[in-house]
Homo-oligomer: A and B are copies of this chain.
Amino acid sequence: MSQPVHALFLVSAPDQPGLVARLASFFYAAGLNIVDASNHTDVHAEGGARFFMRLVVDLAGLSTPAASSALRGSATRGALEAAFGELATSLSAQWSVRYSDVVQRAAVLVTKDPACLYDIVLRQRSGELPCEIPLIISNHPTLEPVAESFRIPFVCLPVTPETKADQEKRVLELTAQHHIDLVILARYMQVLTSGFLDHAPPVINIHHGFLPAFQGARPYHQAHARGVKLIGATAHYATKDLDQGPIIEQDVARVTHAMGPDELTRVGRDVERVVLSRAVRAHLERRVIVEGRRTIVL
């Protein structure tokens, strides 16, 4: 039996009566079954209450007469999108759609730390992260053997202050060439410029601190100096403001006075990996909507 094919819709609109009914009825009228739905109304949003919804629709119904009739005789993905677009416009909604049979493609950017890279690749191989990883880029050659052991193309692009602009341009070219949908910074020890971020696909970064505490460099040393009793990690979308991007996921682990910076680093590494993978998975499953500086994770 072949896997059912799903369309994943993400919708964001000014709150108004009947939103759930009108969105759900659209698919019902077209004979398309909603297999999963969740929504949230943020009454604290700037500019008034805002409605967010994630809908997972089984496309099996697209070949039925109901769909054909509802979509004016043309039961295609294009027709579905066109019809949904009309509804969205009438609701002043922003929306996007992805299809489960179009596998997303992620590039992993690394420097020298193998832990996060192994973790991401192994989770992808085990089916936990629904994507392909056709490209690993690093500013150091250290991790080439790891990439090779998984037979993933590895491109080494060293960077200096002078070559940074060129290097970022080259990264952009590679992501375009490989049709990359998502960039994962798996302990990539370079700050990305806003020039890069403006043209790149979404970028998820893992920060090894409990943001907004411990921004900037060497967060575990900061944490040790401050004597905190918990350390954390934060996965967020990279934005031009360093360590200020919308947070997707966070977690912490308990530490004691007896642990020096090295021990904090070791404990923190476990938190980082779990947090990053949860954030990447949520993104790939189309659960995350950015709203200002916050994320809605449906």
Stretch at the interface among A67-75, A136-144, A175-183, A242-250: A242-250
Check if A199 is an interface residue, CB within 8 A of chain B. Answer: no
Residues 8 to 41 of chain A near chain B (Cβ within 8 Å): 17-18, 20-22, 24-25, 27-29, 31, 33-41
Q: How many angstroms between the C-alpha atoms of A252 and B210 in the bound complex?
A: 11
Instruction: Among B128, B213, B224, B260, point to the contact of A212 (Cβ < 8 A).
Output: B213
Q: Which chain B residue has the least Cβ–Cβ distance from A29? A: B21
Shortest CB distance A293–B (Å): 6
Check if A165 is an interface residue, CB within 8 A of chain B. Answer: no
Q: How many angstroms between the C-alpha atoms of A223 and B247 in the bound complex?
A: 11
| A250: chain B residues within 8 A (beta carbon) | 228-230
Known: A24-B25, A230-B252, A257-B296. A41 touches B36 (CB 8 A): yes
State whether B21 touches A257 (Cβ < 8 A).
no
Residues 240 to 269 of chain A near chain B (Cβ within 8 Å): 246-252, 254, 256-258, 260-261, 266
Residues 105 to 142 of chain A near chain B (Cβ within 8 Å): 114-115, 118, 122, 125-126, 128
Residues 125 to 173 of chain A near chain B (Cβ within 8 Å): 125-126, 128, 149
Known: A35-B41, A213-B210. A128 touches B266 (CB 8 A): yes
State whether B251 touches A230 (Cβ < 8 A).
yes
What is the predominant secondary structure among interface residues of chain A facing chain B? mixed
Instruction: Among B17, B18, B115, point to the contact of A126 (Cβ < 8 A).
Output: B115
Instruction: Among B25, B38, B122, point to the contact of A118 (Cβ < 8 A).
Output: B122
| A224: chain B residues within 8 A (beta carbon) | 44
Instruction: Among B20, B28, B115, point to the contact of A17 (Cβ < 8 A).
Output: B28
Q: Which chain B residue has the least Cβ–Cβ distance from A230? A: B250
The residue in A25, A114, A229 that gathers the most chain B C-beta atoms within 10 A of its C-beta is A229
Instruction: Among B22, B27, B41, B257, point to the contact of A42 (Cβ < 8 A).
Output: B257
Shortest CB distance A49–B (Å): 10
Q: How many angstroms between the C-alpha atoms of A296 and B256 in the bound complex?
A: 8
State whether B257 touches A293 (Cβ < 8 A).
no
State whether B295 touches A227 (Cβ < 8 A).
yes
| A188: chain B residues within 8 A (beta carbon) | none
| A294: chain B residues within 8 A (beta carbon) | 225-227, 257
Instruction: Among B25, B210, B251, B254, point to the contact of A210 (Cβ < 8 A).
Output: B210
**A and B contact pairs by CB, cutoff 8 A, 14 listed:** A18-B24, A18-B33, A20-B34, A21-B29, A36-B41, A44-B260, A210-B230, A211-B213, A227-B246, A227-B247, A227-B295, A229-B247, A229-B250, A257-B295
- Nearest first, the 6 A-B pairs at minimum CB distance are A227-B294, A21-B28, A21-B24, A213-B213, A18-B28, A20-B24
